[in-house]
Homo-oligomer: A and B are copies of this chain.
Amino acid sequence: MKQKVTLKQIAKELDVSISTVSKALKDSVEISLDTRQKVKAFAKLYNYKPNNIALSLKNRKTKTIGVIIPEIVHHFFTTVIGGVEKVANEKGYNVIICSSNNSFDKEVINLEMLASGSADGFILSVAKETQQKKDYHHIEETMSQGMPVVLFDRIIDELVCDKVIIDDGKGAQTATNHLLSLGCKKIAILTTVDYISVGKLRTNGYLRALRAYDITAREDYILKIEDIDNCESEISDFLEDKDVDAIFAVNELFAVTAARVLNEQGKKVPDDVSIVGFTDGILSKHFIPSLTTISQHGEEMGVRAAKLLIDKLEGEEDIPEEYKTVIIDTSLIQRQSTKK
């Protein structure tokens, strides 16, 4: 097993100093052409690659971006990561991904671990628990140590940093408007409990849309789902004997589950009930009927977040700090789950 070759070893073999080797490999004019060629040939032969760790230590930067997301098995988040990777790789950055599993503790651990030398900055979407706890000391601390943080999707208003979000309210409004423009009058919403920020924002958008159409929102048309994993029974109970002609679901799962429930209750989508979802994932695309939905443009979010972060990382140290909040446009994708 041939071990990794270092400058020192090359230097020894060639009977020159470490600095000579280092300079030769960088084509420094300080070193004679002769020596340069000799060193390079040798390095190539032994497949020399500079040790990243040593470089990081020396340069005090890792050229690595840390990404922390609530769930790794999640289509939207992976599309965001895709966008981050794209930009990062173009700019010569590596990406480390960690999942907090929606746990506050794991988020803290991951962040602290990456912050202690492994990454130069962070792109993060906070865990559900963190949103509940409203404890952001770990993020604040990271920033106060000079490491930039970009928040996306599930952001925290109180934190002063770059952010990339979609206009959840506007997206929801668009979705609801679409249903209204189709002539639907009795539009129910399947949403989350309020402490999930995006759920709340989307609910508000729905309410605004109704108001603009002079339709009074009905409490009994709003379902705030507690237990996402067992949403089917909640939705089923909710929809039982309810005379709605449209449903706006704040995520994909609620949308397809509603479709499934309606199906079981003998109602047709979109003929009897139209459905609009949120998030353009696998399910929306391939479901029968395919789902009209609001696309969040996950990849674009990732791209923008990575750019913001890298700008901060490569910007001048002491220019006055200035933080941006990028709002990505959502778009309505019309498919089969809403009647024409």
Contact = CB atoms under 8 A, between A and B. Distances in A.
Given A75-B282, A99-B82, A53 B49 contact: no
A29 interface: no
A286 interface: yes
B78 A82 contact: no
Contacts of A172: none
A64 B3 CA distance: 19
A72 B62 contact: no
Contacts of A62: 53
Contacts of A79: 73
**How extensive is the interface on chain A, given as a class?**
35 or more
Interface string A253-295: 1001101100100000000000000000111001110000000
A85 interface: yes
A159 interface: no
Most chain B beta-carbon contacts within 10 A, residue among A115, A141, A256: A256
A1 interface: yes
A1 B52 contact: no
Nearest to A147: B4
Interface in A97-150: 97-99, 106, 112-118, 141, 144-146
A54 B52 contact: no
A47 interface: yes
A259 B282 contact: no
B74 A78 contact: yes
A2 interface: yes
Given A75-B75, A282-B75, A85 B99 contact: yes
Given A1-B145, A116-B51, A145-B1, A95 B98 contact: yes
Given A72-B81, A98-B95, A286 B287 contact: yes
A16 interface: no
B94 A97 contact: no
Contacts of A282: 75, 281-283
Interface of A: 1-4, 47, 49-57, 62, 64, 72-75, 78-79, 81-82, 85, 89, 94-99, 106, 112-118, 141, 144-146, 253, 256-257, 259-260, 263, 281-283, 286-288
Cβ-closest 3 pairs across A and B: A52-B117, A53-B117, A49-B116
7 contacts: A47-B141, A52-B113, A56-B117, A94-B118, A282-B282, A282-B283, A286-B287
